[in-house]
């Protein structure tokens, strides 16, 4: 910004105006930043130029003492974790409004409007079912491959969008960050919340499609079950986990925007490593690798949701899977939040 003009002005001759410190100013400013030698080379003729920077006479200590004596608070510093959390809680209405508005704004520019929040994942699932389920037959080892893939793609989409959205949470909202002061953790949280809002109707469609797929020949029925009632709890755990991921991504991308280019690859890797469209158990021969893949968080959440909705003998509803899911959610969310908070004072400078 300022550097470009600096090069042209050259060294400044004494200013036409007298330098003065007005009586009502308690403190004024200090020494000139030494201009690099290259700038001095292009010497400008003596045209009007601004007065030299005001020499400071007041030290930091005096200013701090004055500020504290007048009961002023220091700005732009990271608040302690406890206060940060309570600030965040104080802004819950703002967070919620932002999430709702974002979810709503997403499909405003289309004729079909909000219908797209259901149509997109549905079409997405249809693509995978046709290519992988019907043509490539990756559904081997499953009783109902359609329902398996539909749940997989819907749930994975929630994770994927939370992470990609979280990555843009700070950098994509620079104007908001530079306009209003609020705990920046509001932004990644609102990304996940707005994804959750869009997911709501999609979940109903997901369950209905899974149920309907049971009427196809060669696909096992998906009976209506009490386990469906557990789905919302599984989704809440997943949302908590997603928030943790969104915190980490938001800070990474705020510091190094290049990371954003890698997210697509990482997502594809995670998608195939989590058995979104095939059963890990059935396709991965090596027992150790299969175990590791099945216990990594995304696979855990996929299995958890499938255990809630489907009736696959290979994916039973066990208490262990709930423990795994809860543990991943807590670890990701707490770790991600602390990591994000530690960068708080940096957001918005770039």
Partner 1 sequence: MTEAELDFEVDPEDLEGLAPPSRELGGPSLVVDHLDITYRVFGGKKLGTSENAGSRSLRRVVGRGSGHVGAVQQIRAVKDISFVARHGESIGIVGINGSGKSTLLRAVAGLIPPTSGAVYAAGEPSLLGVNAVLMGDLTGERNVMIGGLALGLSRAEVQERFKDIVDFSGIGDFVYLPMKAYSSGMGARLRFAISTASTPDILMIDEALATGDAAFREKSKARIDAIREQAGTVFLVSHSLATVQAICSRVLWIHEGNLVMDGPTDEVTEAYRQYVRGRAKKR
Site for partner 1 in 81-120 (CB under 8 A): 90-91, 93-94, 97-98, 101-102, 104-105, 108-109
Nearest distance from C-beta of residue 283 to partner 1, angstroms: 40
Torsion of CA 321, 326, 328, 331, to 10 degrees: -160
Q: Which of residues 33-92 bind partner 1 (CB under 8 A)?
A: 33, 36, 38, 47-54, 56, 58, 60, 63-64, 66-68, 70-77, 90-91
**Using CB under 8 A, which residues numbered 153 to 182 contact partner 1?**
175-182
Q: Pick between residue 105 and residue 204 the one whose CB is nearest to partner 1.
A: 105
Site for partner 1 in 180-239 (CB under 8 A): 180-182
Kindly report the number of other CB atoms within 10 A of residue 260's CB atom: 16
Q: Nearest distance from residue 242's CB to partner 1, in Å?
A: 22
Residue 16 vs 316, nearer CB to partner 1:
16
CA dist 156 and 199 (Å) reads 11
- Shortest Å distance, C-beta 265 to partner 1: 19
φ, ψ for residue 292, nearest 5 deg? -60, -50
- Residues in region 229-288 near partner 1 by CB under 8 A: 257
Cα(251)–Cα(243) distance, rounded to whole angstroms? 12
Backbone angles phi, psi at 181, to 5 degrees: -95, 125
Of 15-23, 124-132, 260-268, 333-341, which segment contacts partner 1 by CB under 8 A? 15-23
Nearer to partner 1, 194 or 311 (CB): 194
Q: 3-class SS at 34? A: coil
d(CA 160, CA 267): 7
Q: Is 141 in the site for partner 1 (CB under 8 A)?
A: no
Question: Which range touches partner 1 (CB under 8 A), out of 5-13, 158-166, 214-222, 319-327?
Answer: 5-13
Q: Which of 207, 119, 103 is nearest to 165 (CA)?
A: 103
d(CA 295, CA 285): 16
């Amino acid at each position: 910004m300022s550097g470009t003009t600096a090069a042209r002005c050259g060294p400044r001759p004494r200013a036409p105006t007298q330098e003065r410190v007005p009586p009502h100013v308690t403190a004024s400013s200090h020494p000139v930043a030494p201009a690099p030698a290259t700038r001095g080379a292009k010497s400008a003729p003596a045209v009007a130029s601004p007065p030299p920077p005001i020499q400071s006479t007041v030290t930091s200590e005096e200013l701090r003492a004055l500020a504290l004596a007048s009961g002023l608070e220091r700005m732009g510093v990271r608040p302690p974790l406890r206060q940060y959390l309570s600030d965040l809680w104080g802004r819950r209405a703002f967070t919620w409004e932002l999430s709702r508005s974002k979810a709503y704004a997403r499909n405003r520019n289309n004729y079909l409007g909000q219908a797209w929040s259901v149509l997109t994942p549905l079409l997405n699932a249809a693509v995978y079912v046709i290519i992988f389920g019907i043509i490539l037959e990756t559904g081997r080892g499953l009783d109902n491959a359609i329902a398996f893939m539909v749940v997989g793609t819907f749930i994975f989409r929630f994770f994927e969008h939370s992470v990609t959205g979280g990555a843009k949470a700070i950098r994509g909202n620079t104007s908001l960050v530079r306009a209003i002061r609020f705990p920046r953790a509001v932004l990644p949280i609102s990304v996940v919340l707005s994804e959750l809002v869009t997911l709501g109707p999609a979940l109903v469609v997901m369950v209905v499609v899974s149920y309907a797929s049971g009427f196809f020949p060669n696909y096992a029925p998906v009976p209506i079950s009490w386990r469906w009632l557990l789905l919302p709890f599984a989704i809440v755990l997943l949302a908590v986990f997603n928030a943790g991921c969104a915190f980490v991504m938001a800070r990474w991308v705020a510091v190094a925007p290049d990371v954003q280019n890698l997210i697509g690859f990482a997502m594809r890797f995670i998608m195939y490593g989590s058995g979104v469209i095939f059963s890990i158990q059935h396709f991965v021969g090596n027992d150790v690798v299969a175990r590791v893949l099945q216990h990594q968080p995304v696979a855990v959440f996929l299995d958890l949701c499938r255990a809630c909705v489907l009736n696959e003998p290979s994916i039973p509803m066990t208490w262990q899977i709930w423990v795994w899911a809860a543990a991943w959610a807590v670890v990701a969310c707490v770790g991600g939040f602390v990591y994000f908070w530690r960068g708080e004072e940096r957001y918005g400078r770039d």
